[in-house]
């Protein structure tokens, strides 16, 4: 990999991906809609000479191709809000794959675990059956079929699948609202059951694994799992976060009834309800394939990663204030 373009570079996954690519000495184009956010990302990364920012619309293949300027790998980490997923995810995938096909590029598509549906085993390998029972899961399965479809004769795609995640850049995660409020010393809510341990991955760790996978030519045209180090309960996450912040405000768990009521006024929260099964029957990813094909996984322990996330969020809110 000599040059890469990161679509959605200012987002939760795109931000640490851009940082990891730069760290490895790879020429990188950070692509997004907001020039101000892209400039802020460049400043955050220290305005490295290897980084170029480019604004454009990821739904327009011409914009991607123009910005890429011959990049050999496209990291597709652009996403959209829950309530727009059904109408916009497939058109976005088509645009990105068309650009990659015209460029003859590799494509690393960042996705989640929704296509699997309910778990059938303690830890799911990449061969776990895909039997989605939710609308979002069915859309995501159609998305996978589009990505690996026969239309793309020149593009080489792969999909990396992440569980729930957290980190300083994780604006779109379930956990982010909780962590931001704890960092600010405010009361907040936790989506789902706080007592059932679930899988989470720290985004800087995920970025390292994603780039390792993308760096190998034989990784493409496959699914890959990006697992977390261990399961952890919401109560333990909140405990570590509050210890780091030094502030202990109330954190209330939000279940189906609470989310449904909030959903009357918030379209995103309304859409979360159908995915709550994942907080009740956690889906845990196996790292067996990664360790077999790539090598040992090096994780930041949850205690250290959660603390680092809270410190970063506190620093940011302090700077903003």
CATH of the domain at 99: 3.40.50.720
- The residue among 48, 46, 53, 50 whose CA lies nearest residue 10 is 53
- Residue 74: inside a domain, yes or no? yes
Backbone φ and ψ of 188, nearest 5°: -155, -175
Q: Which two tokens stand for residue 2?
A: 């000599």
Which residues, other chains included, contact 55 with Cβ-Cβ below 8 Å and sequence gap of 6+?
31, 32, 33, 34, 35, 38
* Domain count of the fold of the chain: 1
Instruction: Read off the pLDDT of each residue in 65-82 and give the average, rounded to a whole number.
Output: 91
Burial class (CB in 10 A: 0-12, 13-18, 19+), 281: exposed
- State the pTM of this model: 0.93
Q: What is the DSSP letter of 205?
A: H
Question: Tens of pLDDT along 36-59?
Answer: 999 999 999 999 999 999 999 999
Give the list of residues 6+ apart from residue 63 with CB closer than 8 angstroms, or none.
Answer: 56, 57
Residue 266 clears pLDDT 80, i.e. is over it = no
Q: Is the pLDDT of residue 114 over 50?
A: yes
Which pLDDT does position 320 carry in this prediction? 40
Q: Is residue 312 part of a domain?
A: no
> Is residue 269, in this structure, part of any structural domain at all?
no
- The band of 321, judged by pLDDT with boundaries at 50, 70 and 90, is very low
Confidence of residue 319 (pLDDT cuts 50, 70, 90): very low
Q: b/e map of 32-68 (b: 16 or more CB within 10 Å)?
A: beeeebbeebbeebeeeebbbbbebebeebebbbebb
pLDDT band at 201 (very low <50, low <70, confident <90, very high): very high
Band of pLDDT at residue 173, cut at 50, 70 and 90: confident
Query: What is the mean pLDDT of the segment spanning 227-245?
Result: 96
Looking at the domain assignment, is residue 111 inside a domain? yes
Task: Determine the average pLDDT of the residues in 224-253.
Answer: 94
Residue found under tokens 């400039």: 39
Helices 61-68 and 85-103: crossing angle in degrees, nearest 10, is 50
Task: Answer whether residue 181 is part of any domain.
Answer: no
Q: Which domain holds residue 214?
A: 3-167+199-229+283-299
In a domain, 307, yes or no: no
pLDDT of residue 196: 93
Q: What is the mean pLDDT of residues 294-302?
A: 95
Beta carbons of 96 and 58 less than 8 angstroms apart: yes
Q: Is residue 293 part of a domain?
A: yes
In a domain, 184, yes or no: no
Is a pLDDT exceeding 70 seen at residue 91? yes
Close Cβ partners of 150 (under 8 Å, ≥ 6 residues apart): none
C-beta separation of 96 from 64 below 8 A:
yes
Confidence of residue 317 (pLDDT cuts 50, 70, 90): low
Question: β-pairing, 106-111 with 73-76?
Answer: parallel
Residue 25 CA to residue 70 CA, distance in Å, equals 17
Q: State the Cα–Cα distance between residues 92 and 60, nearest whole angstrom.
A: 8
Between 96 and 262, where is the model more confident?
96
């Amino acid at each position: 990999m000599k040059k890469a373009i990161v679509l959605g570079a200012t987002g939760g996954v795109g931000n640490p991906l851009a940082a990891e690519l730069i760290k490895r000495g790879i020429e990188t184009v950070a692509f997004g809609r907001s020039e101000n956010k892209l400039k802020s990302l460049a400043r955050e990364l220290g305005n490295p000479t290897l980084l170029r920012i480019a604004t454009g619309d990821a739904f327009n293949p011409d914009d991607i191709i123009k910005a890429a300027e011959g990049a050999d790998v496209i990291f597709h980490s652009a996403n959209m809000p829950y309530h727009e997923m059904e109408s916009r995810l497939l058109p976005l995938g088509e645009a990105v794959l068309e650009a990659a096909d015209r460029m003859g590029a590799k494509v690393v598509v960042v996705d989640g675990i929704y296509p699997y549906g309910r778990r059938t085993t303690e830890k799911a390998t990449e061969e776990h059956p895909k039997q989605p029972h939710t609308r979002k899961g069915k859309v995501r399965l159609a998305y996978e079929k589009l990505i690996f479809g026969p239309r793309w004769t020149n593009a080489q795609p792969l999909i990396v699948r992440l569980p729930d995640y957290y980190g300083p850049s994780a604006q779109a995660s379930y956990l982010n609202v909780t962590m931001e409020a704890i960092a600010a010393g405010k009361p907040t809510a936790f989506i789902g059951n706080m007592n059932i341990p679930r899988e989470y991955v720290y985004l800087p760790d995920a970025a390292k694994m994603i780039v390792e996978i993308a760096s190998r030519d034989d990784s493409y045209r496959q699914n890959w799992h990006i697992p977390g180090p261990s399961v952890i309960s919401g109560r333990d996450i909140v405990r570590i976060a509050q210890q780091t912040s030094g502030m202990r405000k109330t954190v209330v768990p939000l279940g189906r009834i609470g989310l449904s009521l909030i959903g009357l006024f918030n379209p995103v929260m309304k859409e979360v309800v159908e995915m709550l099964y994942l907080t009740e029957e956690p889906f845990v990813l196996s790292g067996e394939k990664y360790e077999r094909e790539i090598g040992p996984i090096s994780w930041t322990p949850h205690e250290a990663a959660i603390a680092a996330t809270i410190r970063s969020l506190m620093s940011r809110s302090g700077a903003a204030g």
